Amino acid sequence: MSTPERPVSSNFIRTIITEDLESGKRDQVVTRFPPEPNGYLHIGHAKSFSLNFGLAEDFGGCCHLRFDDTNPLKENDEFVEAIKADVRWLGFDWGEHLHFASDYFDQFYLWAVQLIKAGKAYVDSQTAEQMRENRGTLTKPGVDSPYRDRSREENLELLEKMKNGDFPDGAHILRAKIDMSSPNMNLRDPAMYRILHAHHHRCGDQWCIYPMYDFAHGQGDSIEGVTYSICTLEFEDHRPLYDWFIQELGIFAPQQIEFARLNLSYTVMSKRKLLQLVNDKHVSGWDDPRMPTLVGMRRRGYPPEAIRTFCERIGVGRGASWIDLSVLEECVREQLNQTAFRRQAVLDPIKVTIANYPADKVEELDAPNHPQQPDMGIRKLPFSHELYIERNDFMEDPPKKFFRLAPGREVRLRNGYIIKCEEVIKDENGEVVELKCSADLDTLGKNPVGRKVKGIIHWVSAEQAKEVEVRLYDRLFNQENPDKGENYLEALNPESMQTTTALIEPELLAAEPGTTFQFERVGYFTVDSEDSQRGKPVFNRTVTLRDTWAKLK
Ligand code: ATP
Ligand code: MG
């Protein structure tokens, strides 16, 4: 028996499929991910496509990538390409199965004609206003359109004319003839086709009528032989409509299964809102590292494996699911902890001079790239008589549990010697500007005899250190549910990005964009892919380290 490549946790959809296959109800698994190319994908979409591609993988089936491109006003090729890149980035492959709803426009039109001929569709010529009025409400049944009983011939002729461009936008609409008093609003003669004189990113100006999403989606699934049409709960009420179309047309019936969408705390996920954040310049673009988009997360340095682990870990259910952002961050840390090279960088420096170390000497210390993974090799770390350490690693008057540097105390320099603080130098304002220390030169890679030194701090050699720009990212919103209040923009965190500098070990200057490092004791940082230049990297804080303090106590 082969071991699965990734941990498979069960969920109700997997259970349904397993039963169907066992009972012979279905003999294969075909799923699909059906994005509309009107924006970039976010972490919620990742949940959806991980599920769809994951199920196909688990059951030896296949998963299609189908763009539901029925609204030319909002869709374009930039989004198509970005979505493809995102799905690939997470490691999924649609193989031969890249599809577009627009591939089926001819077929959809024929089906519309078929429904008219069967007396199941009609052209309505009410104004949008009248239609809204006559639709009724949840408590009030709708009213039949005066055009509902048009003859088949008249309907066919009107549809043809609509298609030929004889009418302006909004003049007529093709509707399914179902039931204006149905308690399900979706069944009150829903629209099938509308007139829209718009250029389509794939069809050009071939069409001036476009199918509604609801008339395209289910039939797209049917054409492709999708056995499990998995979608989010808001489509539950649309299911009877999709089933109605499938049944009236007498075509292959996919099975729709709904699950709860992902809601992530401190985040908004509606495309409209994400677009507004971009357009109103609250962020630098769709790929701003604070965005919940996959392009943003990639730029931030989230590894794709972490996102897949997250999608697996949060599970799939039907109850509203609110997931805390920290769950995602923890997946990122777990992954990076295994793979990120360790480096040293100081963000808030204070100078240290080692009095007993020769002023003209530079030593190249061996430093492992990863403390638990010798395979990752070592790098050379320059050491000299002048260093920088982190300001908060020194306290003049430390509390009992503080094991780092203090007057008369010893601490280990990471990958280096043990030093002792001999003297504190202050400026005229009483601020500490320099620490004069001595090094125990017999402590490289070994413990001192007769005493125990608990604390370890990071450092860089002053002369060799390089200064670089660092962006400290934090949550984009400072309220748990930004959608809750009056205006989600008010929940924006003004401190979601702070720019500062860091002194880094020289080796890091050559770091390639997109590479992530752990700055030891500081956090995970990724070389920005947009704003870095050769020899001048800009570092994005990917995620903080948990328990920086706990380690030192
Ligand atoms: P909007 O919500 O802005 O209208 P959308 O997110 O529904 O847009 P689509 O491109 O239609 O955008 O989504 C593609 C698929 O991703 C759909 O099947 C949808 O159900 C799913 N999806 C979208 N958001 C989430 C989410 N937060 N959690 C899980 N699945 C989602
Ligand atoms: Mg949608």
Strand ordering across the sheet containing 386-390? 456-457, 410-413, 418-426, 432-440, 349-354, 386-390, 459-461
pLDDT score at 9: 66
Yes or no: say if 120 and 150 are a contact pair by the CB < 8 Å rule: no
- Does 36 qualify as catalytic in the annotation? yes
Q: Which of 194, 271, 300, 475 is flagged as catalytic?
A: 271
Q: Which atom of ligand 1 is nearest to the CA of 38?
A: 10
Tokens standing for 124? Answer: 């309505």
Candidates 38, 42, 47, 48: which one to mutate for ligand 1, based on the most atoms within 8 Å of Cβ?
A: 48
Yes or no: say if 212 and 191 are a contact pair by the CB < 8 Å rule: yes
Measuring from atom 15 of ligand 1, which residue has the nearest CA? 35
What sign for the dihedral angle of Cα 482, 485, 489, 493? negative
Instruction: Please name the residue that has the structure tokens 């199918």.
Output: 211
Mean pLDDT (the chain) is 95
Q: Could you tell me which of 451, 278, 268, 444 has the C-alpha nearest to residue 366?
A: 444
d(CA 86, CA 301): 14
**What is the value of pTM for the model shown?**
0.93
Tell me, what amino acid is at 44?
G
- Contacts (Cβ under 8 Å, ≥6 apart) of 156: 113, 116, 117
Instruction: Please name the residue that has the structure tokens 């609250």.
Output: 282
Q: Which atom of ligand 1 is nearest to the CA of 48?
A: 30
**304 CB within 6 A, ligand 1:** no
d(CA 71, CA 83): 17
Q: Is 229 helix (H, G, I), strand (E, B) or coil?
A: strand
- Contacts (Cβ under 8 Å, ≥6 apart) of 270: none
Domains of the chain from N-terminus onward? 12-261 (3.40.50.620), 271-341+468-552 (2.40.240.10), 345-458 (2.40.240.10)
Q: Could you tell me which of 352, 416, 344 has the C-alpha nearest to residue 387?
A: 352
Yes or no: say if 54 and 86 are a contact pair by the CB < 8 Å rule: no
Candidates 45, 75, 294: which one to mutate for ligand 1, based on the most atoms within 8 Å of Cβ?
A: 45
Mean pLDDT of residues grouped by 10 in the chain (553 residues)? Answer: 50 96 97 97 98 97 98 96 98 98 98 98 97 96 97 98 98 98 98 98 98 98 98 97 98 97 95 95 97 98 98 92 91 97 98 97 97 96 98 96 96 98 97 97 93 96 97 94 89 96 96 97 97 96 68 37
Yes or no: say if 108 and 216 are a contact pair by the CB < 8 Å rule: yes
* Cα 48 to chain centroid, rounded: 12
**SS3 labels along 471-506:** EEECCCECCCCCCCCCCHHHHECCCCEEEEEEEECH
Angle made by CA atoms 22, 27, 28, in degrees to the nearest 5: 115
**270 CB within 6 A, ligand 1:** yes
pLDDT score at 4: 42
d(CA 549, CA 457): 11
Instruction: Please name the residue that has the structure tokens 């809102």.
Output: 273
Q: Could you tell me which of 511, 271, 194, 239 has the C-alpha nearest to residue 369?
A: 511
Yes or no: say if 366 and 340 are a contact pair by the CB < 8 Å rule: no
**285 CB within 6 A, ligand 1:** no
- Does 551 qualify as catalytic in the annotation? no
Centroid of ligand 2 to alpha carbon of 113 (angstroms):
26
Instruction: Please name the residue that has the structure tokens 């009983």.
Output: 149
pLDDT score at 8: 58
**164 CB within 6 A, ligand 1:** no
Centroid of ligand 1 to alpha carbon of 186 (angstroms):
19
pLDDT score at 387: 98
**321 CB within 6 A, ligand 1:** no
Yes or no: say if 262 and 47 are a contact pair by the CB < 8 Å rule: yes
Q: Could you tell me which of 214, 201, 203, 124 has the C-alpha nearest to residue 170?
A: 124
- Does 47 qualify as catalytic in the annotation? no
Q: Is 21 exposed, middle or buried (CB count within 10 Å of its CB: 0-12, 13-18, 19+)?
A: middle
Q: Which of 14, 74, 135, 261 is flagged as catalytic?
A: 261
- DSSP β-bridge partners for residue 55: none
Q: Which atom of ligand 1 is nearest to the CA of 272?
A: 3
Centroid of ligand 1 to alpha carbon of 47 (angstroms):
10
**142 CB within 6 A, ligand 1:** no
**SS3 labels along 129-196:** HHHHHHCCCCCCCCCCCCCCCCCHHHHHHHHHHHHHCCCCCCCCEEEECCCCCCCCHHHCCCEEEEEC
**Alpha helices (H) in 28-151, listed in sequence order:** 43-58, 77-89, 105-117, 128-134
- Parallel/antiparallel/unpaired status of strands 516-519 and 523-527: antiparallel
Yes or no: say if 324 and 345 are a contact pair by the CB < 8 Å rule: no
- DSSP β-bridge partners for residue 517: 341, 525
**44 CB within 6 A, ligand 1:** yes
User: What angle separates helix 304-314 from helix 325-339, to the nearest 10 degrees?
Assistant: 140
d(CA 333, CA 309): 11
pLDDT score at 551: 38
d(CA 398, CA 410): 13
Candidates 64, 66, 99, 232: which one to mutate for ligand 1, based on the most atoms within 8 Å of Cβ?
A: 232
d(CA 73, CA 152): 31
**498 CB within 6 A, ligand 1:** no
Q: How many CA atoms lie within 13 A of 330 on its CB side?
A: 10
**SS3 labels along 326-392:** HHHHHHHHHHHHHHCEEECEECCEEEEEECCCCCCCCEEEEEECCCCCHHHCEEEEEECCEEEEEHH
Centroid of ligand 1 to alpha carbon of 44 (angstroms):
7
At residue 159, φ and ψ (nearest 5 deg) are -65, -40
**261 CB within 6 A, ligand 1:** yes
Q: Is 511 helix (H, G, I), strand (E, B) or coil?
A: coil
Tokens standing for 247? Answer: 């049944």
